[in-house]
Structures are given as structure tokens and as C-alpha cells.
Amino acid sequence: MNVAQKLISSHLVSGEMKAGEEIAISIDQTLTQDATGTMAYLEFEAMGIPKVKTKLSVSYVDHNTLQSGFENADDHRFLQTIASKYGVYFSRPGNGICHQLHTERFSRPGQTLLGSDSHTPNAGGAGMLAIGAGGLSVALAMAGEPFWLVMPEVVRVNLTGQFSTGVSAKDVILEVLRLLSVKGGVGKIIEYGGEGIKNLTVPERAAITNMGAELGATTSVFPSDEQTLAFLKAQQREADWAELKPDSDDEYDEIINIDLNKLEPLIATPSSPDNVKRVRDIEGSSVGQVCIGSCANSSFADLMSAANILKGKRVHPDVSLTISPGSRQAFQMITENGALTDLIAAGARVLECTCGPCIGMGQSPSNGVNSLRTFTRNFPGRSGTVNDQTYLCSPMTAAASAITGKITDPRDIITETVTVGLPEQYLIDDSMILSPSDEPDKVVVVRGPNIKPFPIKEPLEESLKLKIILKVGDNITTDDIMPAGAKILPLRSNIPAISEHVFEKVDASFPSRAKEEGGGVVLGGSNYGQGSSREHAALAPMFLGIKAVLAKSFARIHKDNLINFGIIPLEIEPDIYDAFDQDAGIEFPELAKEVRGSSVITFKDTNTGKTYSSEHGLTQRQRDVILSGGLLNYIKSK
């Protein structure tokens, strides 16, 4: 077997390991972050279980740290107290980004990790089967339930050679995105191998697996080998290591070859992570902002590679440069070795150890300027600025461009190659990770007024007669459905309030029209719901009465979230998409009956009377979830 198959087989609790078949796996660890975590813990609490049943669960605060009102601070207090009560470790605000921290302090080769954030595969760089999911799926995993998924195909990315000057791990994943696109990984696990991985450290591997989320992949993974052991030794966690390698180089559904010797600095241009070009091909364009950080590129090594370029130089007068360390460990280490001084002397603005600008939480670029970011996504408006022009690149490309004030190939700036390897020992200080209480019965969970009860959907109706509230095109993201940013993120614990912003960037009238109609249907193109794992992109539409989403195809996590909240995701052919317009009437005359006993759902255009049908593709378990009105109802009924 290959690495992915070994990880799945060792945790398989239901189903057969045949691509396309539904399987269930046991979950060893979970992680949540504060933007999705509050709802996940409300969901867990609703199950009435006194303590989490995983080997390890950790609650991180790294998204909603901008405290411009009471809401975020109240959520942090809620998360700390509920973690203490139910057996969850709590990483305090300022300690770092969940994926960076979890890989540093908790990753264990051979184990499974389910996280309420799409970039959870970061830990795949340390040999874990790390999967992003909606908060409700994570809550169920904390309750001891298995995680259900469709058995993926396994694609091997075979790396040969080694990096040349100015090329880094970021360029590897940008090359894979260029080759496969943002939907090329759907239904697949991306497994990296080949001679080229021998020189890749775990932080470099994690930067690659992290952005596998942008491919739509189920997850990405590296073997656990000597590099993994070296990393865990440096983290003083050598006892957590276990070797995990493929039995053969041939046990894959597809093989992609990348020669690192030939790889050049790459950059994703506006406004999609797969719109990738060589830096050399677009160099010279002016730059107004450069941001170095995010869960993909904020490790000690990433910060050092930028500091080495910026040392003794100055940021261009027209550029605002920000640095967001991924963890307090990395922050302290660049402080002690003097690299932070070099960054500050160059003119960098140092932010706290959080996601920050990556989710539009501050540092939105000014109008009409190009913003170079080492981040994971450059979807339109994600930065917080409408009509933004954001690019994704490596820390070296970012640092070089910050100096020149224009997009610059780092090979034009680097005069001396400085290799940033693993330190012999990382600085270890876990004082900001709080252990759960030894007396949970005495812990009082503190709830602020912005934390509202979890909304529950009624069981599926026997028939429905609705209106298509919105028709959208291809590659609609969860940012399009449920925006992030400093204005909206603080409302994550308040579904009635956050539902007022559903599809705000696409059609601001959507919430009011949905409420006027008493609900309805959304019609989408291909790859509907790509992007983050935020279950609010399903939960808030459910609250507004959305009963079904008809689309040419769905992104994996969002489809699961729709089912989790009782919304039918129905995949349709292009001719059906073309046949319906926004505001058209649509009727499902025998909906519940067909979900129960048929592979096909029929519906008709109430304006023309023409009837259509489509195979729903739901498994028996998913049928039961939809009929129950969502996963929480289904679990309670069991």
C-alpha cells in the first residue's frame, strides 16, 4: 500500500477501500479555531457527552483576535471555559496559528487529525492523515463518532532534484496548482514522494500539504522518514515518531513528476490560487503591499528566509510590509537570533501571531494597488478590499519585491545563498497551552450575549414548491457565500445576525429575498463551495430557509456541510443549469419519497411545466441525515 492507504486502513471502521465508495475512519485528534470553534463546541455540548473521546483535542484562538467590540473577547472566554470543562486543550490568543502550532507541538505520524479548518492538511507534512471538515463533523469526532468520507483516489507527486537559489516549497504547491487547478484534487489524496523529498524539512513539507486545500483535495501527505524524525527531535518529541513509508512507488491512481532542479519562482495572479505564472513573466509590475505570514508560510524557516533577504536593506517607500509569525515559538526564536531586528530595521510592520490579513482581519490593501502575500488564497475581496489585486508567492519573492517596490524574481536580489535548515533544537514553551480542568464539574461555561443557540432544522418535507433565489456561476467560494473579515467574523456565534450577510458580495438582497419567499433554492455552476471549511456557508443559508442547492459540481467539504445541515446538494447537468433562470419556480413533488427509495430526484419548472431529473448520489447514511433534517438530528435519533 501507499502511505495514504496505510493511514486509512489502520483507522477504517466501515466500508471498503475502493475509490468512490463511502468509508468511515476513526479520528485520533481534533483541532478547532475560534471562527469555527464556537459553533462546533455548541454542537458538541448539545450531544450531552461529559468529555471528549479523542486521544487529543485542541482549541486554538487565531482568527478572531481583533477586539474592536466585545464579541470576539466573549467568544475567547467561552472557548477557554468550555475547553476546560470537556477535556480539550486551549491555545490562548497570541500563541499562534492552529496549523503551525499543531504541527510543531502535537503532530504524530500515523495518526488521524480532523480539523474545523480547510488547511488542517498542514499536519500531513509530518505523516498524519489530516483532513479539514465542518465544525459539526469535528464535534461528532470529539464525541467518538467516526468521520465519513468517500474513499479517494491517491495521486503521487514524484519530486526529483533539489531547489535552486530563490526557489522554495511554496513554488512546489503553486506548480501543482498550475498543473491540476483548484478543482483538480477533488476526490483525491495527494501523496508526495521521490528522491526530492529527502532534502525537504517538515516545515517545507507542511507548506506544501497545507495548500493542497486549494486543489480541492481530501488531504495531502508526506511519508514519515528521517526528516520527520529530525523535526520531532528538534521539537523534543522524538518519542512521537513512527516510520511510515509506501511499500511501492507504483501503487497509485496517477503519478505526476516534478523536477525541482527546473522549478522557478512562481506566483498566483489575481484572483485564483491556480492562476499561476512564472515571476519572471510578470516582473516589473508595481507593488503597494507585501504580507508575509499565514498558516502556510510563517514558520521559523520562512521568517528566516525573508529576513536573510531584507537584512541591511530597506523596504521601498511605496510598500507597506507586514510580518505575521505563525507561532510564538517562531517569534521568540527570530527575536533571540536577531532576525526580528533585521526585519524591523528594514521597515517591516510586525503583527501578532495570527491569521490576520489572510482572512481580511486587518491590513486590507488600498485601492488600486497590487498586494503580494505568502498566504493561501487570493479570492476576490478576501483581503477586505473590493476589487483587490492580490498575488500569492513565496517569502523570498515577497521580500525581494518589498525591497524593489515591484514584482521581483528573488534570484535578482539574492547575492549569497543562505540555507535555512532545521535548528538543532526549537525553543519550547507551552505555557500558553492550557490543560483541561481536573475538576470539570466545577467549571462554569461563560457565554456572552452574542452567543446564540444552535438552530435546528425540521425533518425533510414530503414535497416542496420553491423559487430559485439566486443563480451563480462557476467556482463560487465559501467566501462568496459567507464572507470573512473584521465586520462579519465576530458574528460567527450568532447565526441570526451572520445570516444577514449571506452572499453579500454576490447579491446583497439575498437574505431579505430568501426571508420574503420563506426559503428557496440556489442554482450554482461547477466547483460550488470551494475554499474554506466554514460550515456557516451552509448553516446560515439553512437558517434562511434554503432547502436545496443545485449545481454542476460541488467542492467536497461544502457538500458534506450542506448534507450535515439538511440541505440537499443535487448535481445537475449543464442543460438543466441553462434551463432555469433566477426567480424561476421549482417544484419537488415527491422529494422525501425519492430520497428514501430512489436514486433519482425529479423536479419541474413551474413556469413551463417541464420535468427534469437527476441522480442524487446520496449514500444510505446521507439519505437518513437529509430525511432527519441534518446530522445533529440524525445522531440524536440514533
Whether 211 is covered by a domain: the verdict is: yes
Q: Do strands 112-115 and 89-91 pair parallel, antiparallel, or not at all (unpaired)?
A: unpaired
> Is the separation of the CB atoms in 310 and 344 below 8 Å?
no
- What single DSSP character describes residue 42? H
- Res. 420: pLDDT tops 90: no
- What single DSSP character describes residue 150? E
What was the pLDDT predicted at 446? 96
Residues in Cβ contact with 102 at an 8 Å cutoff, skipping those fewer than 6 apart: 31, 58, 60, 113, 115, 122, 123
In this structure, the answer to whether residues 581 and 608 fall within a common structural domain is yes
CA dihedral of residues 622, 491, 67, 331 (deg, nearest 10): 20
Please provide the DSSP assignment of 449-462 as one string.
Answer: TT--PPP-PPPPPS
* Cell reading at 296: 502556510
In this structure, the answer to whether residues 175 and 83 fall within a common structural domain is yes
Whether 455 is covered by a domain: the verdict is: no
Whether 468 is covered by a domain: the verdict is: yes
Distance of alpha carbon 154 from alpha carbon 124, whole angstroms: 14
CATH of the domain at 491: 3.20.19.10
What was the pLDDT predicted at 502? 98
Residue 487's pLDDT band, with cuts at 50, 70 and 90, is confident
- Res. 253: pLDDT tops 80: yes
Whether 430 is covered by a domain: the verdict is: no
What was the pLDDT predicted at 257? 98
In this structure, the answer to whether residues 383 and 477 fall within a common structural domain is no
- Res. 338: pLDDT tops 90: yes
Q: What is the mean pLDDT of residues 153-164?
A: 97
Range of lowest pLDDT (63-77, 431-445, 567-581, 612-626): 63-77
Q: What is the mean pLDDT of residues 72-87?
A: 96
- Res. 240: pLDDT tops 80: yes
- Find the DSSP H helices in 113-194: 135-142, 169-180
- Res. 456: pLDDT tops 90: no
Residue 272's pLDDT band, with cuts at 50, 70 and 90, is very high
- Res. 64: pLDDT tops 90: no
Q: Out of 259, 293, 319, pick the residue that ends a domain.
A: 259
- Give the model confidence (pLDDT) of 559-586 as tens digits: 999 999 999 999 999 999 999 999 999 9
Give the count of alpha carbons within 13 A of 559, CB side only.
Answer: 26
* Cell reading at 158: 514524484
Whether 277 is covered by a domain: the verdict is: yes
Residues across the chain: 638
Q: What is the mean pLDDT of residues 20-49?
A: 94
- What single DSSP character describes residue 275? -
Cβ burial 169-197 (10 Å sphere, 16+ → b, else e): bbbbbbbbbbebbbbbbbbbbbbbbbebb
Q: What is the mean pLDDT of residues 4-8?
A: 98
In this structure, the answer to whether residues 313 and 215 fall within a common structural domain is no
- Res. 366: pLDDT tops 80: yes
What was the pLDDT predicted at 250? 79
- Res. 69: pLDDT tops 90: no
- Give the model confidence (pLDDT) of 195-208 as tens digits: 999 999 999 999 99
In this structure, the answer to whether residues 358 and 226 fall within a common structural domain is no
Q: Position 258: which residue type?
A: I
What was the pLDDT predicted at 68? 85
Residue 330's pLDDT band, with cuts at 50, 70 and 90, is very high
| Maximal CA-CA distance, the chain | 73
What was the pLDDT predicted at 377? 96
Is residue 156 left, alpha or beta, with left meaning phi > 0 and alpha meaning psi from -120 to 50?
Answer: beta
What was the pLDDT predicted at 419? 76
Kindly list the distances between the CA atom of residue 331 and the CA atoms of 34, 301, 326, 341, 433, in Å, as whole numbers in the listed order: 21, 11, 8, 12, 16
Q: What is the mean pLDDT of residues 381-399?
A: 95
- Res. 613: pLDDT tops 80: yes
In this structure, the answer to whether residues 214 and 91 fall within a common structural domain is yes
What was the pLDDT predicted at 249? 79
In this structure, the answer to whether residues 242 and 352 fall within a common structural domain is no
Distance of alpha carbon 154 from alpha carbon 187, whole angstroms: 9
Residue 415's pLDDT band, with cuts at 50, 70 and 90, is confident
Share of the chain above pLDDT 70, in %: 100
Distance of alpha carbon 545 from alpha carbon 520, whole angstroms: 6
In this structure, the answer to whether residues 81 and 146 fall within a common structural domain is yes
Closest by CA to 170, choosing from 140, 200, 126, is 200
Average pLDDT, the chain: 96
Phi, psi dihedrals of residue 114, rounded to the nearest 5° = -115, 125
Residue 453's pLDDT band, with cuts at 50, 70 and 90, is confident
Give 435's strand partners: none
What was the pLDDT predicted at 159? 98
In this structure, the answer to whether residues 194 and 316 fall within a common structural domain is no
Whether 630 is covered by a domain: the verdict is: yes
Q: Do strands 433-434 and 464-471 pair parallel, antiparallel, or not at all (unpaired)?
A: unpaired
- Give the model confidence (pLDDT) of 106-150 as tens digits: 999 999 999 999 999 999 999 999 999 999 999 999 999 999 999
Whether 440 is covered by a domain: the verdict is: no
Residue 454's pLDDT band, with cuts at 50, 70 and 90, is confident
- Res. 285: pLDDT tops 90: yes
In this structure, the answer to whether residues 285 and 141 fall within a common structural domain is no
CATH of the domain at 45: 3.30.499.10
Q: Any idea which residue has 516534478 for its cell?
A: 258
Q: What is the mean pLDDT of residues 46-66?
A: 94
Range of lowest pLDDT (66-75, 310-319, 491-500, 626-635): 66-75
- Res. 282: pLDDT tops 90: yes
Distance of alpha carbon 51 from alpha carbon 292, whole angstroms: 38
Q: Position 458: which residue type?
A: E
In this structure, the answer to whether residues 117 and 242 fall within a common structural domain is yes
- Number of domains composing the chain: 3
Range of lowest pLDDT (74-83, 162-171, 409-418): 409-418
**Bigger pLDDT: 410 vs 489:** 410
Whether 217 is covered by a domain: the verdict is: yes
Q: Out of 242, 259, 276, pick the residue that ends a domain.
A: 259
In this structure, the answer to whether residues 284 and 249 fall within a common structural domain is no
Q: Any idea which residue has 478576501 for its cell?
A: 382
Q: Out of 259, 281, 301, pick the residue that ends a domain.
A: 259
Closest by CA to 123, choosing from 290, 295, 5, 253, is 295
What was the pLDDT predicted at 637? 83
Q: Which domain holds residue 183?
A: 3-259
What was the pLDDT predicted at 313? 97
Compute the Cα dihedral for 560, 561, 566, 571 and give only its sign: negative
What was the pLDDT predicted at 65? 86
